[in-house]
Chains A and B, each alone.
Chain A
Amino acid sequence: MSKTLTRNPIGRALQIAVGAVCLAALSAGPAHAEQKKISFLTWNISDQADLFKEWIAEFKKIRPDVDVEWLDKKGTEFPPYYQTQVIAGTPPDIVNTQGGLWLEYAAAGGLVDITPYLAKDPDVRKRFNADYLSNWVYGGKNYMLPFYISKSLLFYNKTMFKEAGLSGEPKNFEEIMQYAEKMAKGEKTGLVTLNFDWLYWPFFKMNGVELLTPDLKKAAFNTPKAVKALEELTKATANGGINKVSWTGRWVEPNGAFAAGNVGMLHAHSPAFFFVKGQGSWVNADTLGVMNIPGGWATPNAHGWGISKGSKHPDIAWEFMKFITSDKSTQEFSKRRKVLTANIASDKVTLDAMKKDDPLAASVLQTQIQNTDKLTGNWPLANDSRVKDAFYTEIQNAVLGRKTAAAALKDAEVKVNRVLGGR
């Protein structure tokens, strides 16, 4: 036999190779089978790559049997990517999402109900601001944990206020409109607002307008109060009080217009501050004012962590989520990203440190944990994006002068009711 093998080197080499593969498989087999892998998908936050790698390394020390993979997608790429992964049967175990998207996923049964996990780990629930945590409730079940939080507030240009002879902050909707009109002159406009994800809704809410009936089954906004509010917004838009980019641009344009120093007030969420500060050389504590909108209403635009229903390791995913929302993890994230996380202890540490280092940024972030009982524009609707689209296109028709406020609201009512009726 050995003689034959010596004479046939190819056959011998093959035998050795097969033997080596079998040995490798036998020795590596059991350990490989124990190794588990989870992945987490984030929403356009690749700037935190270093921190995420640190999280993964630290978690590996706690759970050496688990490999964690991190993926990040830009906002426009996120839904197509996640949806195709779901269809392919390989969704990321943990998903970071925001806006109304999580509601659609939760309502369609795509996210794991984490209420039992929260019941089992009551300390995790206690970590968070209860209002922000309840922002992630659909049908009485909690589907996500807060990752980082933001809600709308009003920034104002003190120099433009002074030039227009305005003293003090506006105290109600009428004063906001009056202030805006007073500052409108030439290239300057009085107010610009972000418009995505219901961020403009506080202007209606502060006028006592409700979008839907309490059971969320019918439109409730077509009222004289809403017509009046919309007429005011339209009038201010027509005379330059409100910059038209409020109703067309999404993020960069409205914030950019304010940063250029040509807009008196900016209604936006807290991340806008860092953009404005980066773009506007005029921004400092003497020139930029920060306030909650009169009445304290604000639309949240928070990011959360959820577990995909298709996850093969939901318990490990929960363990990882607990780890990354711990005081230590959130504190580090909060420090590096300059955002709050709804983790009460961590946010306090961040704000205390920021008050010393950057008082203006601290005053912006402070608003994010005030009046959290007055969050609005966050209805738990499975078809939130469709309702939003039906309503907003008609609001655009009014504020940009294509329809009267009354006609636009009437048409919006028909469209919203059609969406709510399942059409």
Chain B
Amino acid sequence: MATDVLTSVAQNPSRNPPGKSGGAGMSRKRKRELILVWAFLLPSLAVFFLYRVLPLLWNAVLSFQDFSLFGETKWAGISHYQDMMEDEVFWTSLWNTLIYMASAPVGIVLALAISLMVNSNVRGKNIYRTIVFLSYPLMTVAVGIIWRWMLDEKVGLFNFILRSLHIIDHPLPFLQSFELALPSVLLANVWQILGFYMIILLAGLQNIPQNLYEAAAIDGANGRQQFFRITLPLLRPSIFLAFVIGIMTSFTSFDLVYVMTQGGPGNSSELLVTYIYKAAFVLGKIDYAAALTLVQFVLLVVLTWVGNRLSGGDAGAVETD
């Protein structure tokens, strides 16, 4: 309600003419409305400022300092950013993060296929829905531990199945291989988030009016045509939502990688977010970690901006009508 009032105040110039915003020209009712709005907003804004804006500002300052936990902090200029340019682990982790993000569309495609299946009249569809969704509420740490054992070279389920089917002769060291470690984590990540994507897409599918399909069928459209001409276009908002959430969560995904590989072997599965943790709390380079965090923040802002543009430029806007 408060935001509606604020939005209407901000967006309706006739109610708040130029040159008369507040002061003597403002009616008592308008003043009371504004006070009410700010009274509702202030606690949230204060919390947001204290726990989001302030740490971010401090983090930005920290990234230009030589920080010492116990001693004197000195100005370092852009030296941490210069170090970053030469830091191969940073570039590896950035590249891995981009790959990790790219797994979101793969998951969405899979989820779409599953959603279409469980949205049809297939027998036991509720059971399938439950099974697919079950992975999502699981604790990520638990998922990591389960997958670590399943991918074990000696006693893992995957190697057992692959060898039983004679697909491989020798067991694959999924998590001990520079080439397979990151794909293995990605697999676990997609498996876990699949249920979430499915729920979003399923909700979208169920919002598509059935009469559109009936009309299309009467016009002679086959299943493929119905999918590409009706389902996919009308599912666009749901796909976009899943895509944005997938990209954002991929960018900040920490626990799965940390539990499954700790960024290794070497730095082959290091993500930007795990590297930030490692730099700050393992290597004791808090100032350098702050610089990495700022870079990650800028990338997130860019991603959000791109996402907003792709959605038509008004994502998050409040509809007043």
Contact present for A385 and B283 (CB under 8 Å): yes
**Smallest beta-carbon distance B51→chain A, Å:** 14
Q: A105-B70, A110-B70, A396-B264 are in contact. Are A245 and B284 (CB under 8 A)?
A: no
**A 374-417 contacts with B by CB, 8 A:** 383, 385-386, 389, 393, 396-397, 400, 402
Count of interface residues, chain A, beta-carbon cutoff 8 Å: 33
Q: A83-B286, A86-B70, A385-B283 are in contact. Are A400 and B176 (CB under 8 A)?
A: yes
Contact present for A257 and B70 (CB under 8 Å): no
Having A108-B71, A393-B266, one finds 13 other A-B pairs with CB under 8 Å, namely A80-B281, A83-B281, A86-B69, A108-B70, A244-B153, A244-B176, A245-B153, A257-B154, A383-B284, A389-B283, A393-B267, A397-B178, A400-B265
Which partner residue on chain A sits nearest B263 by CB separation? A393
Tell me, in angstroms, the Cα distance from A108 to B69 when the chains sit together: 7
Which residues from chain B sit less than 8 Å from chain A, CB to CB? 68-71, 83, 148, 152-155, 173, 175-178, 261-262, 264-267, 278, 280-286
Tell me, in angstroms, the Cα distance from A257 to B173 when the chains sit together: 14
The A interface, classified by DSSP as helix, strand, loop or mixed, is helix
**Smallest beta-carbon distance B241→chain A, Å:** 33
Q: List 14 A-B contacts (CB under 8 A).
A: A187-B155, A243-B154, A248-B175, A253-B148, A257-B154, A309-B70, A385-B284, A389-B278, A389-B282, A393-B266, A396-B264, A397-B178, A397-B266, A400-B176
Contact present for B176 and A423 (CB under 8 Å): no
Cβ of A250 within 8 Å of any chain B Cβ, yes or no, is yes
Contact present for B69 and A87 (CB under 8 Å): yes
Q: A244-B173, A385-B283, A385-B284 are in contact. Are A396 and B265 (CB under 8 A)?
A: yes
**Smallest beta-carbon distance A387→chain B, Å:** 10
Cβ of A72 within 8 Å of any chain B Cβ, yes or no, is no
Cβ of A165 within 8 Å of any chain B Cβ, yes or no, is no
Cβ of A148 within 8 Å of any chain B Cβ, yes or no, is no
Chain A contacts of B71 at CB under 8 A? Answer: 108-109
Which partner residue on chain B sits nearest A393 by CB separation? B266
Chain A contacts of B278 at CB under 8 A? Answer: 389
Cβ of A262 within 8 Å of any chain B Cβ, yes or no, is yes
Contact present for B70 and A402 (CB under 8 Å): no
Interface centre among B153, B176, B284 (most CB of A within 10 A): B284
Q: 7 closest pairs, A vs B, by CB? A: A244-B176, A110-B70, A108-B70, A79-B281, A109-B70, A248-B176, A396-B265
**Smallest beta-carbon distance B77→chain A, Å:** 15
Chain A contacts of B173 at CB under 8 A? Answer: 244
Chain B contacts of A87 at CB under 8 A? Answer: 69
Tell me, in angstroms, the Cα distance from A189 to B177 when the chains sit together: 17
Tell me, in angstroms, the Cα distance from A108 to B266 when the chains sit together: 28
Which partner residue on chain B sits nearest A110 by CB separation? B70
**Smallest beta-carbon distance B165→chain A, Å:** 18
Chain A contacts of B153 at CB under 8 A? Answer: 244-245
